[in-house]
Amino acid sequence: MKSVPMPLILEAANAEVRAMDDVELRRQLERVHADCFGWAMACCGRDRDDAEEVLQTVYLTVLDGHARYDGRSSFRTWLFGVIRRTAASRRRTAWLRGLLLERNGERMRPEAPAPTDAKVESDSRSLTLRNALAHLAARQQQVLHLVFYQDLTVDEAAAVMGTSVGSARTHYARGKARLATLLGDARDL
Amino acid sequence: MMDERELRRSFEQLREADRDHVPGFAQISERARAQRRLRVPTRLRPLVIGAAAAVAILSFFQARGRSFTPAVATPAITTWRAPTDVFLTAPGIELLGSMPTLGASVLDTMIPTPSKRGT
């Protein structure tokens, strides 16, 4: 079938719609930016540099249209899913790179990054919570962060994590009980 | 053991602490934009990969060809002499190079005849 050349006026209209989409997308991203950063930090083991890199890649992916919001969930929930997958992919790449570097000898190992987020670390309560969270399984950490930090429901958290609601509920219940015990123990000390 | 309300409060405190350190949206999106500028457009990617592969293959064959090239110029086939030809030069080799005559001795070619000697 022969393709019919698009009239110039229609092309201009499409470009305008695309531009509007881009502006609207930017507006939406800016609105949830702080939440996204918190979630990116949780996905990157509280490494600030990694979280920024992940967020940067996510924004690029979304703005380039490689990840499209289909309206099946809220924009924030969908974006959290993209962040989780991007962070996981980055973690895998880092792991592979680590293997290669290990094979090529210690000389090529990059220097450990300087500790960041020092002011937050000085906050003893935040530090206690972070230490306690570090003792939980990754899935438990994620579901607790999504529910308590981001105020999502367990169902929404399951959608973000890409697991069934039943599995998310189990992680939530076990994680919450363990975290409460750990924080209680820390307070008693 | 902590109750849920306390747990929620702890997370709220962590969130508040994090909020003070959130990098600006403009900063992150500007970095993303810079990354986009550096990135090769998707439709050009096969071309770039193809060109890189072609360059790699060409340089491989060029390097291989260069390693087999002799250091001196190749002589023409008409002037070329085998280096082992010297071993073929042996005493009496001229006997093998000419056609013998019937009824004659091989010594005739080596010893001059009296008639020839008289002339």
| Candidates A52, A126, A176; nearest CB to B28 | A52
The domain spans of chain A are 1-113, 117-189
Residue A176's nearest CA partner among B12, B18, B14, B11 is B11
pLDDT tens by residue, B19-28: 888 999 999 8
Residue A105 Rama label (left phi>0; alpha psi -120 to 50; beta): left
Torsion sign across C-alpha atoms B17, A124, A51, A87: negative
- What's the rounded Cα separation, in Å, for the pair A46 and A131? 11
Q: Mean pLDDT throughout B94-113?
A: 76
- Cβ distance A129 to B1 less than 8 Å, yes or no, reads no
Architecture category of domain A1-113 in CATH: Orthogonal Bundle (1.10)
ipTM associated with this complex: 0.71
Q: Mean pLDDT throughout A148-171?
A: 94
- Cβ distance B21 to A117 less than 8 Å, yes or no, reads yes
Assign A116 a pLDDT band (cuts: 50, 70, 90). low
Q: In three state form, how does the secondary structure of chain B look?
A: CCCHHHHHHHHHHHHHHHHCCCCCHHHHHHHHHHHHHHCCCHHHHHHHHHHHHHHHHHHHHHHHHHHHCCCCCCCCCCCCCCCCHHHHCCCCHHHHHCCCCCCCCHHHHHCCCHHHHHC
Task: List CB contacts (< 8 A) between B19 and chain A.
Answer: 34
Residue A90 phi, psi dihedral angles, 5° rounding = -65, -40
Q: How far is B45 from chain A (nearest CA, A)?
A: 15
A125 close contact with B: CB closer than 8 A: yes
Checking if the pLDDT of A17 tops 60, the result is: no
Q: How far is B44 from chain A (nearest CA, A)?
A: 15
Q: Please tell me the predicted confidence (pLDDT) of residue A107.
A: 47
Is the Cβ–Cβ distance between A182 and A132 less than 8 Å?
Answer: yes
A143 close contact with B: CB closer than 8 A: no
DSSP string, A47-64: -HHHHHHHHHHHHHHHHT
- Cβ distance A129 to B10 less than 8 Å, yes or no, reads yes
**Confidence (pTM):** 0.62
- At A16 the three-state DSSP class reads helix
Q: Please tell me the predicted confidence (pLDDT) of residue A112.
A: 43
- What's the rounded Cα separation, in Å, for the pair A45 and A51? 9
Checking if the pLDDT of B57 tops 60, the result is: yes
Reported residue count of chain A is: 189
- What's the rounded Cα separation, in Å, for the pair A87 and A92? 9
Checking if the pLDDT of A29 tops 70, the result is: yes
Checking if the pLDDT of A132 tops 80, the result is: yes
**Which amino acid, one-letter code, is at A82?**
V
Q: Please tell me the predicted confidence (pLDDT) of residue A99.
A: 76
Q: What is the CATH number of domain A117-189?
A: 1.10.10.10
- Cβ distance A123 to B17 less than 8 Å, yes or no, reads yes
Checking if the pLDDT of A115 tops 80, the result is: no
Which of B101 and A148 is assigned the larger pLDDT? Answer: A148
Q: Mean pLDDT throughout A157-167?
A: 94
Task: List CB contacts (< 8 A) between B37 and chain A.
Answer: none
Q: Mean pLDDT throughout B61-75?
A: 71
- Cβ distance B7 to A183 less than 8 Å, yes or no, reads yes
Q: How far is A47 from chain B (nearest CA, A)?
A: 12
Q: Residue written as tokens 């230490």?
A: A131
Which of A30-39, A110-119, A121-130, B59-68 reaches the highest mean pLDDT?
A30-39
Q: How far is B47 from chain A (nearest CA, A)?
A: 20
Task: List CB contacts (< 8 A) between A120 and chain B.
Answer: 17-18, 20-21
Q: How far is B21 from chain A (nearest CA, A)?
A: 8
- What is the H or E stretch that residue A138 is in? helix A138-144
Reported residue count of chain B is: 119
Checking if the pLDDT of A154 tops 50, the result is: yes
